[in-house]
Amino acid sequence: MNKKVTTSSLMKMKQEGKRITALTAYDYPFAALVDRAGIDLILVGDSVGMAVQGWDTTLPVTMDEMIYHTKLVTRACKRSLVVGDMPFMSYQSGLDKAVENAGRFLKEAGATAVKLEGGADVCPAISAMAKAGIPVQAHIGLTPQSVHQMGGFKVQRDEEQLLKDARDVQAAGAFSVVLEGIPASIAQKITQALTIPTIGIGAGPSCDGQILVLHDMLGMHDGFIPKFVKKYVDISALANQGLAEYIKEVQDGSFPSQDHSYK
Ligand code: KIV
């Protein structure tokens, strides 16, 4: 349980039929909670743009912001494998730039691996990074950085294309692949067809592992929650209750009491 998770241990989990647990995290306190809970993989997702920065998409997130958040997370993690998510335009405009940016996640931020979105188009980048010794997690299906090209955050249903993308990223050297927003039956076929672990989000129960955005599954906001998310707690409701109590007690003078004052 306390041994650091590696890309090889994730591969072994797939071979042994053990489900991989994954969540996002973006800062030290939450990464510490997630790591201590025993989650296998923490993704410092570019979903930070929507979950933390208040944007409508992940597109505005920058490399420097991702490095900053990844540093906060790796500082907290003793066991979980940390993956840094490559933001929009950090790997699309040339292989040298892609490898250089991927390297920053390992060299400056202490991540073990990086993730990028796409199928055949990003295979040259996956290969170049793998050749440089950087483990790469691929991400196919609903790829949020292509939201405008897809015409919205839409479930992807082209089975032939998805199977091809999955096989291509594996052949290019990815150690794992995220399957997002695809029918459960297609995710099952992909999972059976690949030797690398599949990590699903909105892709049904047959994937080798599951990932959710931490802020969604802990109920840290009152905004839109997609169908595939299960809210395990409602932190937002607890916070609202605590905040209302604090306001009332400050206003009526019952806080601070003797217990919270120095003699
Ligand atoms: O950015 C992110 O959090 C992700 C996950 C949803 C897989 O890419």
pLDDT digits (tens, 9 = 90+) for 177-225: 999 999 999 999 999 999 999 999 999 999 999 999 999 999 999 888 9
For residue 48, report the distance from its CA to the centre of ligand 1, in Å.
9
Q: In the chain, what's the furthest Cα-to-Cα distance?
A: 73
Is the whole model's pTM more than 0.85, yes or no?
yes
| pLDDT score, position 223 | 87
Q: Does pLDDT of 2 surpass 80?
A: no
Mean pLDDT of the 161-186 span: 98
| pLDDT score, position 235 | 97
Q: Does pLDDT of 19 surpass 90?
A: yes
| pLDDT score, position 249 | 98
- In terms of DSSP bridges, do strands 176-180 and 198-201 run parallel, antiparallel, or are they unpaired? parallel
- Whether 39 and 80 have beta carbons less than 8 Å apart is answered as yes
User: Angle between the 159-172 and 184-193 helix axes, to the nearest 10 degrees?
Assistant: 30
Tell which residue, 166, 185, 189, 162, has the closest CA to residue 177: 166
For residue 244, report the distance from its CA to the centre of ligand 1, in Å.
33
Phi, psi torsion values for 167, nearest 5 degrees = -65, -40
Phi, psi torsion values for 116, nearest 5 degrees = -140, 160
Q: Which of 139, 207, 212 to mutate to test the pocket of ligand 1 (most atoms within 8 A of CB)?
A: 139
Residue ranges lining ligand 1, Cβ < 6 Å: 24, 43, 45-47, 85, 139, 178, 180, 201, 211, 213
Classify 144 as helix, strand or coil: helix
91-136 pLDDT tens trace: 999 999 999 999 999 999 999 999 999 999 999 999 999 999 999 9
Q: Does pLDDT of 1 surpass 80?
A: no
Q: How confident is the model at residue 60 (pLDDT cuts 50, 70, 90)?
A: very high
For residue 23, report the distance from its CA to the centre of ligand 1, in Å.
9
Residue nearest to atom 5 of ligand 1 (CA): 45
Q: How confident is the model at residue 156 (pLDDT cuts 50, 70, 90)?
A: very high
Superfamily of domain 7-232: Phosphoenolpyruvate-binding domains (3.20.20.60)
| pLDDT score, position 28 | 98
Domain ranges of the chain: 7-232, 235-263
- Whether 39 and 77 have beta carbons less than 8 Å apart is answered as no
Mean pLDDT, the chain, integer: 97
For residue 44, report the distance from its CA to the centre of ligand 1, in Å.
8
What span, in angstroms and rounded, lies between the C-alpha atoms of 232 and 10?
Answer: 25
Q: Which of 21, 23, 24 to mutate to test the pocket of ligand 1 (most atoms within 8 A of CB)?
A: 24
Question: Exposed, middle or buried by CB within 10 Å (0-12, 13-18, 19+), for 129?
Answer: buried
Question: Exposed, middle or buried by CB within 10 Å (0-12, 13-18, 19+), for 91?
Answer: buried
| Cα 146 to Cα 11, 25, 128, 223, distances in angstroms | 28, 22, 22, 22
